Structure formats: structure tokens, C-alpha cells
Amino acid sequence: MAVARIALPVAVPAAFDYWIPEGLALERGALVRVRFARRALVGVVVGIAATSEVARERLQPVDEVIRDLPPLPDDLLALADFVSSYYQEPLGLVLAQMLPPLPAARDVAARSRPLAVALRLTAAGAEALAGSLGRAPRLRTLFDEWKAAPGFLLRIEAQAALPSHVRQAVRRWQAAGWVEPAPPDAAALQADGADGGAGAALTADQQSAVAALRAARGAFAPFLLQGVTGSGKTEVYLAAAAEHIAAGGQALILVPEINLTPQFEQRIAAALPGRRTVTLHSRLPAGERLRHWRAAAAGEADLVLGTRLAVFAPLPRLALVVVDEEHDPSFKQQDGVRYHGRDVAVWRARHRGVPIVLGSATPSLETLVHAQRGRYRWLKLPLRAFAPARLPRVVFLPSRDAGAAEGMGAPLLAAIEARLLRGEQSLVFINRRGFAPSLLCSSCGWQAGCPRCSARLVVHRDAGELRCHHCGHVERLPRACPECGNVDLLPLGHGTQRLERALIARFPGARIARVDRDSTRRKGAFAAVRDRVHAGDVDILVGTQMLAKGHDFPRLTLVGVLGADNALYSADFRATERLAALLFQVSGRAGRRDLPGEVIVQTDFPTHPLARALAAHDYQSFAEVLLAERRATMLPPFAHLALVVAEAPRRDAVDAFLGAASEAGRAVAAELSAAVEVFPPVPAGLARRAGLERGQVLAQAADRGAMQRFLPRWREAIAALPGRRVRWALDVDPLGFA
């Protein structure tokens, strides 16, 4: 009797045996449905054996082979093995992470129709639809967009974000002959080719980067592509991708943000006419994601563009991997399987024997050290690609200022006013949403705290609420102090809403837009603001780091930065690295075209090394300062860390559990003679969250091999600890402390 070893999405690091019914053809990598603890689960066959150690009568059969997806190829199974062993996560959970969401069986046929690259509105359609869409605003908007598009062409990827009733309407229109598939090369005409000088010839630096990638074809070769903001890294990726695709390969491009993909897709269409691109990210509708995954697996997609989960896309002809903004923390998954998308991408490129490019203006210290040691080839783009564009002038002003309006000093306000008069755009950046980060009683000193977290509640004046940004707790904004009855309650500090109000009061005629997680919650809201900025319908943008990345607003000439000092002296060892990346990114938004840019940073630490580096546009000098600190304190990239984080309703339960975990760690390290130091437990930075007490234990090793030998045994020892109601997780290469 043949037996299938099946990895199931359960938190047990073992595969399970099931017998294979007569006539059922199974191969390694196949997806199957089986019963597990009375539930039907989908698992992946990771092995086939002649016998099982489990008694025959206790084995259950494989119920069904799932044919919606092809069996996972060997290279993906190997990738899953690596992720499972490196990050100490059960193989079944890792494999589940790799798969697209599977639809109910009946939906498959309808959803797997082939994807047209672009649809064209026909003359008949333009006429028929013009008079018939009165009561359907979404369809009307789509139709108007379609009519306004050059050549009446609308790319199908833009439709992916549409609700299903709109997509169904488009299918009906296609059936009626009102829209029709357009030839692939026509799609390129519609794309916005203006970005970053796309379509223009590559600069000499860009050309030599592309040449280096060309020369690396067919073998593992890691590259760091370090280019100042606006230097045209994207043109290098796309030119290299075009060459590798022309030679018969597939390219994989990972980006940090979902919000970046629409813009990116347009540029890809312009750079790769006639090639098929699919996107993969978690907000894609399930059917779409499944279809894109299959297009990648079948080799029909030439390029896969996606967020960290796309690193697991099946790519039979993979020839080039790109990780854009490789320093971005969103490549690390912070719950479930805690993998780092960039690091997994490097492993995959090595395993598949293909070149990989890690691109950034502000590389992570890890990547920088690899480049300095010659393990990564270092390509540099030191100049902005658009010739007249100069790097912006950076000015530092004190945070406190007599003429300030809600934290914005008089010089910043004057600079904004000057932009308004010239018809240019300004961006005011503060990395804090809401109205004010806390509420204080001026009489007794009471501050509004979250009842479930060790955190202050944030004032959201628009909604008349206090909100906790850690657990989601919401309460009404009090009229009086609950302690002393005083009605004079002061919102302390500044958030985006408060700045927005102050700007509206100060510049009543200006068109002001706010961009943060609150203002962009509604689907499509972010894209709408971005389009308004591009169209010149916004004078002043105020927002959080959502605005810092990747966007290219041609008329934006002023960036004001507020509230940056908070992160300068944070307890989190990566806080300054992150702040540096953010400030360089956000400064890079200013003056990307022919208009000169200016950056005004309000800070009380104008002589901090970061401030000096920013003024000189010299990220490298600041990175050297950080590297020296990390070397002295034995922190990454000069040490390897693993963190056990735990939470429970009671503090004593967490402390006892983590105390035992720490002790077990020291015992394991001693037994293996592994040079791993395990520290005593400490409370998390946010000691209580959502009603749970939290703590952590850190393990540190100079040598990755020692850490990797140590981890499986430590995990086992922790799993065996008693700890009622304690939830814990192991975070390998954590981005920071909990």
C-alpha cells in the first residue's frame, strides 16, 4: 500500500502519512485534500513511501487531488524546506503561505479565463454606452476614463481593482462587441512613459549597470544597485528584465508597497511592449491571484511583479530577480511565518543560479556590508537621471519657534506660501496619523491611556474619538477630565489631521490633501489622491510615510519634515537606520524635474550625524556611523539574532515562561558548545497590548552557523515548556525588539 507524506497547514513541524487509494495518481508537490482532526485540509505531498510507521488501521486515505493548481515544482519544494528550517516554521505552514487562495470548485472555470493585456473601447461601444449609464456611477466613471484614454485603451490590470459587478459589466460589454481586446503592442502607447525620463536614452551609469547584469546572465550573481532618489533605478531593472526576457527568461520584481504597483505596472508596459506582466499581492481578489499564479507557473507570464509573497511564485524560466527598495521593513513578515522576502529572494536566486539585484538609495546595513566585503557587486547611480534635476537644498530649523502654527515654524510656512504663489506643490511630512498623539488634563496631569495596552490614546478629532493605534480600542473624546472634572483638556503634540487643519486655516484658498492610513482606508482613495497631485489639483500634501516612497510628483518642490526627532534616540536599535532611509526618501520627493527642490527639516539636533549626512546627500557617511555602532554593540549585521516573544493575560505567567525559555536556551547552547548567548527575559517595549502582557528573550551569535545549529533544539525545548495560556513565537533575524 503506497503512502503519501503530506505537509499540512498546522503548527506541527511534521508531515503526516495518508494512504493512496487505488487508481489515484499522485506525485511529489501535488495538492491534496485530506481529513485532519475532523477538518478537511489542503496539503502538499512532500514524499511518497511504500510503508508507514503508523499502523494501517490508523491511517486515513487521501480524499481528493486538487487539480486547480499544478503540482509544486521541485525548486519551490526546496525553497519551502529552506524557509522552514531557517526560520524554524512548520513546513506545512510555509507551503500554505506559498499557495494562492483556492476558490470553491465551481468558481474555477469562470475565473480562469485568459487575461487580455488591454481592452479597447470600440466606436459602437462609445456610442451605445454614452447614453445608457445614467444610474451606474462606477460604470460611468470607468467609461469616462476609457473615453479619455489615448486610443480608447484601458489596461486590464487597472481593472483588477474594480468591484466584481463592474468587471462583469465589462465582460458583457465585450460580449456585445462594445469593447475588444487590443493587440499587445498597442498597450504600450497608453502607458505613462514620462516617469523618471523613461523612454529617454539611459545615462552612462545606467548603461553600465545594465551591462553588468547582462554579463551575469545564467549564473548566481548578487548585485547592490545603489542610486540616489531620482537616479533611475527602475529603468535599469526594466532594461535588464527586457534583455533577460528576450533571451527566453522570466523576471521577478519585488516591491515593498501595494500602492506602488499601479505606477510601476504602467512603466513596465512602456518598457516591455508585448510582454505579459502579472501582479501578485495579498490585496488582489482571490480569483485574480490564482489566475496570475497559474500564468507564472505555466511560463505564460514574462514578468511577475509583487510584494514579498511573490518571492514564492512558481517561475519555470526564472532568469532575473529584482528587489526594489531592498531596505524596506515591509519585506519582513511580522506574524505567521516570519520570513524576510529579500533574504529568501537571495537564497532563491542562488538556488536557481540567476542574478539578483537589490536596489535602494539607502541600502540596509546588511546589504551594505555584503557589498563592502565584495560578496555583492556594487553598482552605483550617483546622479539624477533627468539631467537638469539637482538634489534638493536641505535646511534645518529649530522645532520650537515663536511664530509657529501648530508646530510648523514661520520659515516653513513662508516657504509653503512662496510655492503657492509660484503654482508649485509642497509636502508636509509627519510620521504620525491622527490629530494629536495624546490628551492631557491641564489641571491634574491625567493623560488618556488605553485600558488594554501600556500606551496613550491618540486624539482623532474628526471622528470625535480617542483611538489606540496598537489594539484598535476606540472611545468617545471626553468633554471633561475623568479624574478631576476639568474641561480644559489639551491635545499634546501633532498628527497629520492637526497639521491639515492648521494649513487650511492658514492658507484658506489652497487645495490641501491628507494622505495617511485613515484617509486612504477606502479602496482606490490613495490612487485618487495620487492622480490629483499629478494633475496639479493639489497645492499642499500632508501625510505620513505612505508619501515617502517611489512617487514622482513633477511640480513638488518643497518638503517639510516634522517630528523626526522622536526616532533619533529611540530604544529600538534599527530606529535611526529606518529614520535615515525615510528622510532620504522623503527628501528625494523634492525637485525631481527642472524645478529646484528644497527640504526643510525641523529638528533640535541639527548637528546630529544624520542631519549632516542628509544635508550633504551622503547616506554612505551616516551608514558608516551606524555600522561602527553596530560593530561595537555586537548587533546585526555583525551578529545574528533570534527573539522569542511571548504574551499572556498575566505578567507572572509570561515572566515564568520566558525565564524557563531563557534557561533552556543556555542549556542547549552549552550542550552543543554553540557560541550563542541567551539573555534573561525583558518586558516588550509595549509591555501590554490588547490586554496581554508581553515579553521577550534574545539570543545572539556572531556566527550564523552556530545560531542555525542552536535554533531547532531551542525551539523544541521551548515547545516542551509548560505555559498555560502563553502564546509564543520565534522570530529569526528580527527587525527589532518587540
Question: 305 exposed, middle or buried (CB, 10 Å; 0-12, 13-18, 19+)?
Answer: buried
Closer of 268 and 654 to Zn ion (Cβ): 654
Closest separation between CB of residue 486 and Zn ion, Å?
A: 5
Q: Which helix (H) or strand (E) holds 629?
A: helix 619-633
Interhelix angle 619-633/575-587, rounded to 10 degrees, is 170
Only segment of 10-18, 72-80, 254-262, 435-443 that touches Zn ion (CB under 5 A) = 435-443
Q: Which is nearer to Zn ion, 61 or 449 (CB)?
A: 449
Contacts of 325 (CB under 8 A, 6+ apart): 255, 256, 359, 360, 549, 550
The nearer residue to Zn ion, 208 or 443, going by C-beta atoms, is: 443
Q: Which stretch binds Zn ion (CB under 5 A): 88-96, 414-422, 464-472, 620-628?
A: 464-472
Residue of the chain from 141, 282, 486, 621 that contacts Zn ion (CB under 5 A): 486
In 10 A of CB 569, how many CB atoms? Answer: 10
Rounded to whole angstroms, the Cα distance separating 560 from 401 reads: 15
Determine the Cα–Cα distance for residues 689 and 731; give it in Å rounded to an integer: 18
Q: How many CA atoms lie within 13 A of 362 on its CB side?
A: 29
Q: For residue 691, what is its C-alpha cell? A: 490586554
Q: How far is the CB of 115 from Zn ion (least distance, A)?
A: 43
Task: Give the shortest CB-20-to-Zn ion separation in angstroms.
Answer: 50
Q: Which is closer to Zn ion, CB of 111 or CB of 473?
A: 473
Cell of 481: 477630565
Residue 649 CB, nearest distance to Zn ion (Å)? 15
- Residue 473 as a binder of Zn ion (CB under 5 A): the answer is yes
Segment near Zn ion (CB under 5 A); pick from 263-271, 460-468, 497-505, 547-555? 460-468
Element (H, E) at 320: strand 318-324
User: What is the closest distance, in whole angstroms, from the C-beta atom of residue 489 to Zn ion in the complex?
Assistant: 8
> C-beta of 443: minimal distance to Zn ion in Å?
5
Q: How far apart are CA 564 and CA 620, in angstroms?
A: 20
* Residue 730 makes contact with Zn ion by CB under 5 A: no
Rounded to an integer, what is the distance from CA 150 to the centroid of its chain?
A: 32
- Applying CB under 5 A, among 14, 105, 480, 484 the residue interacting with Zn ion is 484
Nearer to Zn ion among residue 183 and residue 485 (C-beta): 485
Which lies closer to Zn ion via its Cβ, residue 62 or residue 441? Answer: 441
Contact 120, 186 (CB under 8 A): yes
Block residue for cell numbers 508507514: 52
Helix (H) or strand (E) holding 698, with range, is strand 692-701
What's the Cα-to-Cα distance from 65 to each of 75, 101, 300, rounded to whole Å?
Answer: 21, 16, 24
Q: Which of 268, 441, 515, 707 binds Zn ion (CB under 5 A)?
A: 441
Does residue 448 touch Zn ion according to CB under 5 A? no
Q: Does 305 bind Zn ion (CB under 5 A)?
A: no
With cell 478537511, the residue in question is: 40
Binding test (CB under 5 A) with Zn ion, winner from 19, 446, 679, 737 = 446
Nearer to Zn ion, 450 or 542 (CB): 450
Nearer to Zn ion, 399 or 443 (CB): 443
Residue nearer to Zn ion on the CB measure, 433 or 630:
433
In the complex, the smallest distance separating the C-beta of residue 647 from Zn ion, rounded to whole angstroms, is 13
How long, in residues, is the chain?
738
| Burial group, residue 105, by CB count within 10 angstroms (0-12, 13-18, 19+) | exposed
Pick from 28, 111, 380, 470: which binds Zn ion (CB under 5 A)? 470
Candidates 36-44, 423-431, 462-470, 508-516; binding stretch for Zn ion (CB under 5 A): 462-470
Task: Label the pairing between strands 60-61 and 16-19.
Answer: parallel
Residue 458 or 582: the one with the smaller Cβ distance to Zn ion is: 458
User: Does residue number 483 form part of the binding site for Zn ion (CB under 5 A)?
Assistant: yes
Least Å distance, CB 457 to Zn ion, is: 8
CB nearer to Zn ion: pick between 688 and 709: 688
Site size toward Zn ion (CB under 5 A) is 15
Query: Does 604 interact with Zn ion (rule: CB under 5 A)?
Result: no
Stretch of 204-212, 378-386, 433-441, 572-580 contacting Zn ion, by CB under 5 A: 433-441
Q: Rule CB under 5 A: is residue 478 a binding residue for Zn ion?
A: no
- With beta carbons less than 8 A apart as the criterion, state whether 153 and 120 touch: yes
Instruction: Determine the interface stretch with Zn ion among 170-178, 227-235, 360-368, 437-445 (rule: CB under 5 A).
Output: 437-445
Following DSSP, what letter does each residue of 140-190 receive, concatenated? HHHHHHHHHSGGGEEEHHHHTTS-HHHHHHHHHHHHTTSEEEPPHHHHHHH
Please identify which residue in 111, 147, 390, 452 interacts with Zn ion, judged by CB under 5 A: 452
481 is a contact residue toward Zn ion (CB under 5 A): yes
Residue whose CB is less far from Zn ion, 334 or 486: 486
Which 3 state secondary structure label does DSSP give 61? strand
> Which region, judged by CB under 5 A, interacts with Zn ion, from 249-257, 300-308, 482-490, 680-688?
482-490
Q: How far is the CB of 484 from Zn ion (least distance, A)?
A: 3
Is residue 556 near Zn ion by the rule CB under 5 A? no
Determine contact, residues 562/430, Cβ cutoff 8 Å: yes
- HEC letters along 509-534: CCCEEEECCCCCCCCCHHHHHHHHHH
444 touches Zn ion (CB under 5 A): yes
Residue from 94, 280, 303, 468 touching Zn ion (CB under 5 A): that is 468
Q: Which residue has the cell 491611556?
A: 449
Which amino acid is residue 150, in one-letter code? P
Q: Note whether 453 binds Zn ion by CB under 5 A.
A: yes
Q: Which of 471, 540, 600, 644 lies at the binding interface for Zn ion (CB under 5 A)?
A: 471
Output the nine-digit C-alpha cell for 58. Answer: 490508523
Give least dist CB 463 to Zn ion, A. Answer: 16
Quickly tell me which residue has 487521501 as its cell. 62
Nearer to Zn ion, 170 or 457 (CB): 457
Rounded to an integer, what distance in angstroms lies between the CA atom of residue 479 and that of residue 382? 55
Q: Name the residues that contact Zn ion, by CB under 5 A.
A: 441, 443-444, 446, 450, 452-453, 468, 470-471, 473, 481, 483-484, 486
